Structure 1
């Protein structure tokens, strides 16, 4: 599958996840953790994807800028929000001057990076003293899935985590922020319970990736998915994942941005 096809498949999955119960509230919580920036202050959304958060931040009256490394994602974001500001860039080298931003947000980003600490150092660089950071992510090693075969499920969960660049980055959020010199570091734990099409796409994607990697056989993947799909059909599925939300303040000021 080409990179273009991968992104084309990813966008509907992200849309479905964004519409899942509780997810909108979690995004709203991340906006609150950024504090009340001063009028016209810059808030950066790193790994903005198709622009959902940038649109919502803009609707709140903030000057939000979305950054993503994928041109196809940026094109989708610009199509959906022609009034939005979307720029190509990476989490390691953001297109902003030192201290230019008052808020930094990254959702489902750090686990995709080989060097999460480098991205957090870049967040520190672009944030003004007293600026706020909020990072959100799931721990890929701790999916909770009700299954007729717990041993196989453990194999699938851990094998899928091993395919992620930094699968346990979310549990390291606090230490990453502390090591970068941030202050007032706090962590919240929320639990995402997946159902319907989001659960089905997630489970199917996990099984396919792990089978392709050779961790399980095609027969094991088919049998495991058949069990999960029957559970979904009969409303007996349970798929949950902890989501870690960390926030902090850039040093050099007496309070949060806009405080």
Structure 2
């Protein structure tokens, strides 16, 4: 195993600081980073995609675990620090300077891959929604292990009836298993963010038959776009939605947050 200097020293040597405009917050605790890398299980020899590695704290942990890492970093300031890891772990790290939102990750990876990332706060939700969307299922990714603001993480794993329950919960749970894997205190970051963070672990599950992902997304967008209104009001713009509610025995006076993931799937199935 390469003898690397502490990540804090690497950051200081390269004159790095977290850029607020890029949603950066650096993790420096290597024991914590090793715990995060262990969440999806054995990574030895497996392909891993990391978005926004920054100076490479989590990247180190993934490389120590034996993963073959593709790291997409937009910030050119971080590339020299990542290049040192490329030298320390020859053949294990591929670095790409680009905008992760503008790339086709499945095409880039070309094989089944796990995603592990301390996601930049300003693009995290957009990337997550993209990975979970579309009618092609199962996906090429085998698991998503992602750092979010704790409020967002709670929205992903929440159950019907809770104040956090909404589109993210349904998107995460209708054909995947989503769990809160670890909470991370704000003091673990440099600089400390104003909010607590948490890691969500998502694995794909079997897709319900006869359901279009696009239709489900349309239904949930309408229902939660006006979440304080009754379904008969929020869904009236979707052709056939009110008849579908009647067919399924779902009272049109209910509100979106009271419907289970299964009920939304059933509604989308009728409309599909």
* TM-score, L = length of structure 1: 0.52
Match for residue 47 of structure 2 among 42, 46, 52: 42
Verify: 1:24 aligned to 2:30, yes or no: yes
> Relative contact order (alpha carbons < 8 A, sep ≥ 6): 1 or 2 greater?
1
Matched, 1:176 2:168: yes
| Whole-angstrom CA distance in 1 between matches of 2:86 and 2:201 | 27
Label 1:97 to 1:29 Cα distance change in 2 as closer, same or farther (>3 A): same
Change in 2 beyond 3 A, CA 1:118/1:85:
closer
- Does residue 1:136 correspond to 2:147, yes or no? yes
* Structure 2 counterpart of 1:245: 199
Larger Rg: 2
Contact 1:178 1:185 in 2 (8 A): no
**Matched residues in 2 for 1:177 and 1:87: separation?**
31
- Secondary structure, aligned partner of 1:97: helix
Q: Give 3-state SS (helix, strand or coil) of 1:92's partner.
A: helix
Counterparts of 1:120 and 1:44, CA distance in 2: 16
Q: Displaced runs of 4+ in structure 1, greater than 6 A? A: 123-127
Do 2:50 and 2:72's aligned partners in 1 also have CA atoms closer than 8 Å? yes
Alignment-derived partner of residue 188 in structure 1: 181
Does the Cα contact within 8 Å between 1:130 and 1:252 map onto a contact in 2?
no
Shift of 1:87: 1.0
Counterpart Cα distance in 2 of 1:123 and 1:89: 22
Name the Cα RMSD after superposition.
3.9
Deviation at 1:177, TM superposition (A): 6.7
- In structure 1, the partner of 2:222 is none
Show structure 1 runs of 5+ residues with no match: 1-6, 140-167, 207-240, 254-259
Q: What is the deviation of 1:247?
A: 0.4
Give distance in 2, aligned partners of 1:202 and 1:137: 14
Partner secondary structure for residue 95 of structure 2: strand
Q: How many residues align?
A: 172
CA contact (8 A) 1:137 1:243 kept: yes
TM-score normalised by the chain length of structure 2: 0.50
